[in-house]
Amino acid sequence: MKPNSYNPYVSAQTQFDNVAAMINLEPGVRELLRQPLREIHFTIPVKMDDGSTKVFKGFRIVHNDARGPAKGGIRFHPHETADTVRALSMWMTWKCAVVDIPLGGGKGGVICDPHNLSKGEQERLCRGFARRVAQNIGPVIDVPAPDVMTNGQHMLWIMDEFEAIAGGRYPGVITGKPIGMGGSLGRKEATGYGVIYVLREALKKLNIDISKTTASIQGFGNVAEYAARLYSLMGGRIIALSTWDEHDKKAYTFRKKDGLDIEKMVEIKDSFGTIDKKKAADLGCDILDGGEWLSQDVDIIMPCALENQLTPEVFTKISDNVKVICEGANGPTTPDCDKLIKEKGIFIIPDFLCNAGGVTCSYFEQVQCNMNYFWTKEEVLEKLDTKMTQAFNAVYDLAEDKRLYMRDAAYVIAINRVAEAVKLRGWV
């Protein structure tokens, strides 16, 4: 999806400031938690296949690690910025806290477009990234993971380079690894499944039968794919999907009013989530403008792409029948749009609760790697369901008890947990 004028770090700080004021957070704690603890900015020279050298800019930022080692993904994206990574690291802190796992928040990024890099160039970039951050990551310091346009193979290259530098085997240094190389069963499904676990709980509270609902999704990467699969298995119908087409440099919405066959849509997408337009048309899909996913007459919308996609400007397109917004992406809603969501009476499952299944399963992977004992897929997904359900109910109960907006309730729980850890450590 295209970048826009909203600064995600300003959005993250605005959300934090609003809740910090609401709970009368002490000035010292407030100042500490509204910015990262540490940042590393670096360059990575990579020998390209044609013999030239290209220099890439990278970041690794830790927002807070009072509750445990920092945790957060590494993005490869041509529009990556330090402020985006700062915001994402902050959201990771709240995400780990709201599901009550003993980790802090971090994030990494490299300004690049892997579409335009060969496999060898991507490997050299990953190994260069590992060399730049080797002194600052580790199983008890900071544990990276895949994110936008990175995958298990990228993580394995980073782990291999780290181990060569450290002189040992440290599978817990990174998560999202391939199965058989320290990866956890259930990890690829975890974030998307987590989205649907909390949606299921929300619909129970709203007395809505999930099998009678329809949905529209933005994105069709890993998160959206597995959210769509589980939602469909529970009887829901996906009416529309919106994905970015790298070749055309624009987004398209693929719509089928009687419901998309998600398994067939998966078969015609590439590893970056781009759907083949010709094959989609052959399946009977209407091919619309990328923004049309938002205007579909559905019960549920799931932004599962990038940040700052729901703004006041586009919010007017949302159907009056929409009852729930599931924020599968990080920071998809701008702070000035929350007011409109409240006014419209739409139930929102905020991002750092809704998509916390990924980091929860990453935590499970880290635990399994560190003890060198691995669980079955059923065990992983059962533990994930339990964690996500408990977290949702805690946020919902607080929202009901104190008459809070769901996002504010999630922030109150997360910020209080991190603030308590900071104070107990004597940092403030």
How many whole angstroms separate alpha carbon 271 and alpha carbon 348? 29
What does pLDDT average to over the chain? 95
- Report yes or no: 95 and 133 within 8 Å, Cβ to Cβ: no
Q: Of 361, 392, 359, 391, which Cα lies nearest the Cα of 379?
A: 361
How many whole angstroms separate alpha carbon 99 and alpha carbon 356? 7
DSSP letter at 162 equals H
- The structure tokens 């058989």 sit at 180
Query: What's the pLDDT tens digit per position in 147-181?
Result: 889 999 999 999 999 999 999 999 999 999 999 99
Q: Which of 292-301, 326-335, 377-386 comes out lowest in average pLDDT?
A: 326-335
How many whole angstroms separate alpha carbon 415 and alpha carbon 240? 35
Query: What's the pLDDT tens digit per position in 22-48?
Result: 999 999 999 999 999 999 999 999 999
Query: What's the pLDDT tens digit per position in 229-254?
Result: 999 999 999 999 999 887 888 999 99
- Report yes or no: 255 and 239 within 8 Å, Cβ to Cβ: yes
> Across residues 9-24, what is the average pLDDT?
94
Percent of the chain with pLDDT strictly greater than 90: 92
107 given a catalytic annotation: yes
Token digits of residue 298: 């559905």
Identify the burial level of 233 via C-beta atoms within 10 angstroms of its C-beta, where 0-12 means exposed, 13-18 middle and 19 or more buried.
exposed
CATH topology of domain 8-17+26-171: Rossmann fold (3.40.50)
Token digits of residue 395: 């946020």
70-77 and 104-111 beta bridge pairing:
parallel
CATH topology of domain 188-349: Rossmann fold (3.40.50)
Strand order in the sheet with 38-47: 38-47, 53-64, 104-111, 70-77, 142-146
Task: State the pLDDT confidence band at 4, using cuts at 50, 70 and 90.
Answer: low
- Where are the CATH 3.40.50.720 domain residues in the chain? 188-349
Percent of the chain with pLDDT strictly greater than 70: 99
Q: Which of 2-11, 178-187, 280-289 comes out lowest in average pLDDT?
A: 2-11
Please identify which of the residues 71, 107, 188, 323 carries the catalytic annotation. Answer: 107
- Where are the CATH 3.40.50.10860 domain residues in the chain? 8-17+26-171
- The structure tokens 């794919």 sit at 225
Cβ-based neighbour number of residue 263 at 10 Å:
10
